[in-house]
């Protein structure tokens, strides 16, 4: 009888899929609340739209495949996918784009592969990339934090903006993004990338209005606090043994190493590792997205390779690509490489050579 020695650490805590998904959702909750505090009611509305669409789409496809609906929906995988997409898109994104993206996540990236456990790619990231490529302008229309708006958006205004394109007073997203002195607001990654393309140095790009006020009160600080909240949630998942340390640690270290190398080569041209870590979606990507047990590598060596390569692609695309952030693209690229990574890092069978011996012919 062959005994397979799998990668350690071995699972000691018995949890079903629903319990694991709920723990991940709980870990995301504080960061989502903080995101709503800074950016308004949009996230709550987008999350509601995405969750309803995900559950309805999942139920419809399960019915078409004659699968038990109740048991499948109780694993909360569709809800988690919807929430990951909701926190990744602009809070004021038109409602129908959220519906379209969520449908693609569940129907195309998950159910067409056979459902949970069979999907090759991370469903939320597939949906995000589809929306970003199809609607690049809308997907980059992030509003500034509420405290910097001339009039903070109420729930009714946000609802009207998402469903009609205008607030109750008749302002659209473009007008809301333009504040005092006609300065158009952007994310920190957008601001630095735009500055660099305009022949500014990295240090000069940090003088943009979005960074005025320092870590405590600048526009960029809102993104940093949200990133720290996702870091705290990720540490909770590690403590609860929901995820292993290999992927988040390897991904963050990889980003620090590669971005640090570029920064040392030319400090005027390339952003610092600290900027890469605390701006954008690196931390949510490292702890909540790349750790997807279905689409990630399944061996410990493979996880290190998988996550390290994600960090490499993230830095390359952020620095030299056309998009400010790159977690979704980096994850999808490495999802394609998982079968190859697992093949070469698969656990050995106890008492047998890891590679088949060539048979000698007389």
> Which tens digits make up the pLDDT trace of 133-186?
999 999 988 888 877 776 778 999 999 999 999 998 888 888 887 754 455 556
Domain-wise residue ranges, the chain: 14-180, 186-351
Report the run of H or E that residue 126 belongs to, with start and end: helix 123-134
Residue 164 to residues 9, 36, 52, 93, 171, Cα–Cα distance (Å): 51, 21, 19, 11, 11
Predicted TM-score (pTM) of the model is: 0.89
Predicted pLDDT of residue 234: 98
Predicted pLDDT of residue 355: 58
Positions of the chain with pLDDT under 70: 1-14, 150, 179-186, 209-210, 212-220, 349-362
Residues 6+ apart with CB under 8 A from 236: 26, 27
Report the run of H or E that residue 73 belongs to, with start and end: helix 69-73
Predicted pLDDT of residue 216: 44
- Give the side-chain half-sphere CA count within 13 A for 49: 26
CB 350 within 8 A of CB 3: yes
Predicted pLDDT of residue 295: 95
Indicate left, alpha or beta for 336 from its phi (over 0: left) and psi (-120 to 50: alpha): alpha
Q: Long-range pairs for 181-187 at CB < 8 Å and ≥24 separation?
A: 183/209, 185/142, 185/143, 185/144, 185/148, 185/210, 185/219, 186/142, 186/210, 187/142, 187/223, 187/279, 187/280, 187/324, 187/325
252 token code pair: 């963050």
Q: What pairing do the DSSP bridges indicate for beta strands 349-350 and 3-4?
A: antiparallel
């Amino acid at each position: 009888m062959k005994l397979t020695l799998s990668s350690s650490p071995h699972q000691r805590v018995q949890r079903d899929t629903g319990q694991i998904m709920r723990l991940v959702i709980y870990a995301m909750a504080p960061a989502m609340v903080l995101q709503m505090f800074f950016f308004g009611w949009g996230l709550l509305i987008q999350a509601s739209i995405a969750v309803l669409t995900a559950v309805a789409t999942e139920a419809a496809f399960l019915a078409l495949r004659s699968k038990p609906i109740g048991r499948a929906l109780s694993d909360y995988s569709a809800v988690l996918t919807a929430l990951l997409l909701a926190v990744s898109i602009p809070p004021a994104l038109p409602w129908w784009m959220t519906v379209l993206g969520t449908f693609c996540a569940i129907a195309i990236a998950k159910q067409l592969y056979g459902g949970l456990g069979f999907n090759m790619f991370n469903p939320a990231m597939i949906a995000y990339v589809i929306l970003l490529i199809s609607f690049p302008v809308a997907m980059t229309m992030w509003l500034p934090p509420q405290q910097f708006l001339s009039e903070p958006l109420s729930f009714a205004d946000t609802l009207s903006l998402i469903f009609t394109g205008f607030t109750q007073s008749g302002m659209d997203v473009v007008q809301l993004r333009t504040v005092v002195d006609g300065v158009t607001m952007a994310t920190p990654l957008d601001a630095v990338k735009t500055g660099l393309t305009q022949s500014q140095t990295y240090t000069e790009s940090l003088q943009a209005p979005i960074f005025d006020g320092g870590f405590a009160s600048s526009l960029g600080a809102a993104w940093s606090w949200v990133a720290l909240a996702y870091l705290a949630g990720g540490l909770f998942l590690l403590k609860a043994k929901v995820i292993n340390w290999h992927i988040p640690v390897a991904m963050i270290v990889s980003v620090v190493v590669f971005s640090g190398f570029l920064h040392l080569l030319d400090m005027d041209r390339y952003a610092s590792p600290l900027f890469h870590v605390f701006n954008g979606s690196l931390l949510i990507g490292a702890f909540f997205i790349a750790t997807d047990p279905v689409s990630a590598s399944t061996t410990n060596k493979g996880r290190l390779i998988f996550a390290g390569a994600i960090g490499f692609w993230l830095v390359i695309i952020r620095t030299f690509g056309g998009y400010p952030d790159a977690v979704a693209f980096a994850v999808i690229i490495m999802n394609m490489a998982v079968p190859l990574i697992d093949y070469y890092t698969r656990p050995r069978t106890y008492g047998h050579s890891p590679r088949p011996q060539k048979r000698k012919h007389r």
